[in-house]
Structure 1
Amino acid sequence: MKGPFISWLFFLDMFALRETQTALHSLEIQFTGMAITDDLPDIIFNVWLDSQLLFSYDTQSKEVLLKLGGAYPPLKNRLMEKLKEQLRRGGEDDLRRFCAYWMVSYNETWELQTTQVTVFCELDGDIQVDSRMLVAFDGETVCQLNEQNARWVIKKPEVTRFCNYLDDSVQWHRILAEECPTFLKIVLELFHLKENEPPEVTVSHDDAPDGRFILFCTARGFYPRPIRLHWEKDGQMGVWRKERSSGTLPNADATFYLQVVLELHSRDPGDGYACVVEHYELRMPAIYPAPRKVTRGKSWELSLSLSATTIGILISAVAFIIWWKKDAWGRTTEDKRERREGMSSLGTPPPAASLSSSPSHSSSCLPPPQPNCSERVLPTSNSRGEILS
């Protein structure tokens, strides 16, 4: 294990380590070997940084895939070239032979099986919080090594011989205590991780039709991933009815999401509940009080209060409109009166009324129509031929 592990990562030593972000970060490296023929097993090599797939390699596709796009492009390209170079020099065959040897040592046959070797370490700044190594066959862990233990812990009695072989083969303790944490620090330097973000917390409630009172505490957009979110009542932790969690889920922007739901009995008034959130960016626990349950009587009081407020607003609006119209009418009338008084003082007669508006007065003021002298007036006669004058 040690040889292939170091040969894949030696080129990272060229980068000087600076002070890493003071936050909790984890690194998980996993080799998975699948024996499907008598040939060397196929290998899948994955690395996760803070539970996000960083890069992977499959001996069938022969491609190195970088899954986290936050690396500085020149460093990313150099990293790809170095990994491919190590594979061309035999790193892939070393891993396959190493995995095959473990398979044979485990059951002394070439039967169809899957082998997994997992190395995990976690740092809080420069302090190592956790580290462990697991060996599993066909999904079942058979041996485990913790950083605190000097020897492998046997998880399956029938593999005692195999686990003892691991004790004598390589200095695994050094991989957990030194090499995995060093690799984690280097990766944190190579990849520009997302800036730390505090959680955006909202507390809401819902009244279920069956009378249950449901409280929701939701934290969104936080980074890094570790967070603690729980309910308290009157400042005390406890268990109140049914509580469930969504689990910490990733968002599309590499931040995380978590929701914890608390269901209260219909007889519980919901007084004194609060959601407590602990995250690195908050520096200290943040307390978000939950809304109280509105009882039937209080809901009527609230409805009446809202109705009275609404009616009062409407009355005020109508009164203002009436006052505004009266004031506008008064100003218009006053302006007309002032204009008439001004014209009278200057001796200007008031304008005559239009003809169309007062036909009776206009007809009396006009002289009677005069006959047109140019027209001839012809005499008329009756039926007997007598000329009428």
Structure 2
Amino acid sequence: MLNWRRRRGSFSSWLLTLMLFALREIQTAYHKHEIKHTAVGTSQTLFDLIIASFIDDIPWASYHKSKHPMVVKAAWIAEVVGTNFLEDMRHFTLNHEGVYEFTIQYLTINDTETERNHTFQSYFSCELDGDILLSTFIKYGFDGEDLIQIEGLEAKWMVLNPRAHSLKFILESTIWTEVRKRENKRFCVGAMQKILQKSSMKENLPPEVYVSRRDFPNGTISLSCTATGFYPQSILMHWKRGIDAAIWGEESSSGTLPNSDDTFYLRISLKIPPGDTGTGYACVVDHSQLETPAVYPVPEKPSKWNLWAVALSVLLSAILMISCFVAFTKWKKRKARTTSETQLEGPFPSVTSPVICLQ
């Protein structure tokens, strides 16, 4: 029975490793394009429209109605998508200004406060695995509340707020369905394919990993594993203990967050209850830029002897430095006194100075 359990544990570890390799291959071809619109206005007029487009969480284009027209992040992106595409995007944006102005007026038709500001938001996304379209998603929101959403080209709209029932009838019309599919193909999927065929949005970088341990007086141990500076965003991190030992404790994660340089950051933690020595733990990190999943052992708790040795070393170093400083100060004072006496005596030897006679 014991041998069978060992074989089962080995098989589970082998299967997990195989799945990680397969997932890493998928991640290298996986890409996501997100387009976020925020319109601000009253029932009478549209004040502003802000659009931001991201590929794999990296911004590549933006639009601000009150400040500037469509702006592309890099010259090579503008060259790749082409002048005609950018002109189509400009018309697409201008059309949405009219659409959003009408939508805000439509949703506030029964409001008595005509000068009140309202915010209408839309979120578009499409995901690709190579040339295969994995999914499309659209969601609309109004004044901070979700209204209606749809996932997939052939799916039905899902109402999330009672005031969106009338919108559902419009969005499911033949005209709007064809417009939605055409815009998704050209501006979401098409733009992403054009850009990624030319170059990645950013140089792929492996993660820098730091593992730490903190022991508390009550016997609790906190382990931390931080991966930072990696790109693309997809990463897998988990704790392991020994070959196939169970892990007990409270796990938490920061979630994958962006750094200021467009790379990403992720931190996972494990709080081990009293009674566990915390030995044998390691952080396993898998990323597309790593040839194999990397294992980072958790530092062991230093023994009391090591702590005393460190303290003694610090003490001895401090004593040595103080002794050197005192000796140097005395030598400097003695030298200064000797120099002063020599200057007072002048060029002739004093009476007490020894005289050397040469025969």
TM-score, L = length of structure 1: 0.62
Question: 1:135-176: CA deviations, max 9, x gaps?
Answer: 111121211111175211111244222212211132366358
Task: Tell which has more relative contact order, 1 or 2 (C-alpha 8 A, sep 6+).
Answer: 2
Question: 1:79-120: CA deviations, max 9, x gaps?
Answer: 6x9747964xx6554222111222344343575421112111
Q: Does 1:171 align with 2:178?
A: yes
Larger radius of gyration: 1
Report the counterpart of residue 67 of structure 2 in structure 1.
61
Which of 160, 165, 172 matches 1:160?
165
Which of 8, 27, 32 matches 1:26?
32
Contact 2:212 2:223 in 1 (8 A): yes
Aligned residue for 2:289, secondary structure, equals helix
RMSD of aligned residue pairs (Cα, Å): 3.7
Cα 1:300–1:22 change in 2 (3 A) is closer
Distance in 1 (CA, whole Å) between partners of 2:134 and 2:236 is 17
Aligned residue for 1:282, secondary structure, equals coil
Structure 2 letter corresponding to 1:98? V
Distance in 2 (CA, whole Å) between partners of 1:148 and 1:238 is 44
Report the counterpart of residue 38 of structure 1 in structure 2.
44
Aligned residue for 1:201, secondary structure, equals strand
Pairwise CA distance, 1:34: 1.3
Report the counterpart of residue 202 of structure 1 in structure 2.
210
Q: Does 1:299 align with 2:299?
A: no
Contact 1:45 1:57 in 2 (8 A): yes
Q: Does 1:130 align with 2:131?
A: no
Aligned residue for 1:72, secondary structure, equals helix
Cα 1:235–1:116 change in 2 (3 A) is farther
Cα 1:172–1:125 change in 2 (3 A) is same
Matched residue count: 286
Aligned residue for 2:164, secondary structure, equals helix
Aligned residue for 1:142, secondary structure, equals strand
Distance in 1 (CA, whole Å) between partners of 2:181 and 2:93 is 23
Question: 1:269-307: CA deviations, max 9, x gaps?
Answer: 11232212121222543322223334xxx4337857999
Q: Percent sequence identity over matched residues?
A: 32
Contact 1:196 1:281 in 2 (8 A): yes
Structure 2 letter corresponding to 1:216? S
Distance in 1 (CA, whole Å) between partners of 2:137 and 2:236 is 23
Distance in 2 (CA, whole Å) between partners of 1:150 and 1:46 is 26
Cα 1:103–1:109 change in 2 (3 A) is farther
Structure 2 letter corresponding to 1:293? K
Aligned residue for 2:172, secondary structure, equals helix
Cα 1:303–1:160 change in 2 (3 A) is same
Report the counterpart of residue 252 of structure 2 in structure 1.
244
Question: 1:297-349: CA deviations, max 9, x gaps?
Answer: x4337857999xxxxxxxxxxxxxxxxxxxxxxxxxxxxxxxxxxxxxxxxxx
Cα 1:137–1:299 change in 2 (3 A) is same
Cα 1:102–1:37 change in 2 (3 A) is closer
Q: Does 1:150 align with 2:158?
A: no
Report the counterpart of residue 286 of structure 1 in structure 2.
294
Structure 2, unmatched stretches of 5+, are: 1-26, 313-355
Contact 1:198 1:282 in 2 (8 A): yes
